[in-house]
Amino acid sequence: MDWIYGIHAIQTMLKSAPQRVEEIQVQSGRRDDRLQKIYNLAEQHGIPLQPVTIKKLDAKVQGRHQGVIALCRPGEARDESFLLQLAETHGNQSFFLMLDGVTDPHNLGACLRSADAAGVHAVIVPKDNSVGLTPVVQKVACGAAESVPLVTVTNLTRTLDKLQQLGVWAVGTTGEAEKSLYKMDLTGAIVLVMGAEGDGMRQLTSKQCDFLAKLPMAGEVESLNVSVATGVCLFEIVRQRSALI
C-alpha cells in the first residue's frame, strides 16, 4: 500500500474508489473548508481519520501534502485486453494517448491531467522504462489518475498494431516529421503517441505509426516539455472534433 497525498488526489479517491482507502491522517487543528469535504467523505464511507502532527505527515511522504495523506491499496490493473475492449466500445470516437517511455512522475501526472481534461479514454504506457502510478504522479494529476485508466502493456508496437486492426489511426509526434499537426485530419479514432523526455519515440514505435507529425516551433527552443506538448496535441484533436459537432 502507498501513502497518497494532496487534497484533490485524496478527495477524488474517496469519490471514485473509497474501498481502496484504509486510513486518512490529517494535520491536527485543520478544519478549514478545503479539508471539510474529506472529513465528510471519510465519515460517509466509514474510513478512520486520525489527527497527527505536521511532522508525522512530513515523515511519511516526500512532497507538498497540504495537510492530509491517505493509506491506499493498489488500484485495479489495466492491461491490453481492457484497452482493446475500450476501442471496440468507442469505435470511431476512440481517443487514446500513448507515452513511449516517460520516466518523470511529474510529467506523467501532468499528462494524465491533460488527458482527463481532453476526454481521453485511456493512457497507455510500457511495462518497462516508464514510471507507474506513484504517489507523486497521483498528486500532480490532481485526481485524474483515478478518472483516466492507465493501461500498462508489454510491447507498445504490438499494442499499436492491434489498435490499428480495430480502425484506430496511430499519430506519432517527432520534430523530424515533415507535416505539421495542424495540417492533419485528427477527427477519427486516434491514438496519439508521444515520445520520452529528451529521446523522443523509439524507432520501432515510430515505424509502427500511420502518420508522423510535428509542432511548428517559431523560437530558438527546439522542443517542448513532453507534458506541455501532450496538452497542445490533445487539444488540437479536441478542437478538430468539436468543429464537427
| CATH superfamily of domain region 2-72 | Ribosomal protein L30/S12 (3.30.1330.30)
| CATH superfamily of domain region 80-243 | SPOUT methyltransferase, trefoil knot domain (3.40.1280.10)
Quick check: do 2-72 and 80-243 share a fold?
no
Instruction: Kindly state the percentage of the chain with pLDDT values over 70.
Output: 97
Name the residue ranges covered by the structural domains of the chain: 2-72, 80-243
Per-residue pLDDT tens digits for 142-166: 677 778 999 999 999 999 999 999 9
Calculate ∠ Cα 147-227-70, nearest 5°.
40
Q: Which residue has the cell 474501498?
A: 19
Q: Is 153 left (phi over 0), alpha (psi -120 to 50) or beta?
A: beta
How many CB atoms are closer than 10 A to CB 69? 27
Task: Give the type of residue at 206.
Answer: S
Nearest in space to 97 (alpha carbons), one of 127, 74, 120: 120
Bridge partner list, 134: none
Per-residue pLDDT tens digits for 192-235: 999 987 778 999 999 999 999 999 877 766 678 899 999 999 99
Alpha-carbon gap, residue 245 to 204, rounded angstroms: 36
| pLDDT value, residue 245 | 60
Tens-digit pLDDT string for the chain (245 aa): 789 888 888 998 898 889 989 999 999 987 788 788 999 999 999 999 999 999 999 998 887 898 999 998 877 768 999 999 999 999 999 999 999 989 998 999 999 999 999 999 999 999 988 888 777 787 777 677 778 999 999 999 999 999 999 999 999 999 888 899 999 999 999 999 999 877 789 999 999 999 999 998 777 666 788 999 999 999 999 999 998 76
| pLDDT value, residue 239 | 96
Contact in structure between 81 and 122 (CB atoms under 8 Å):
no
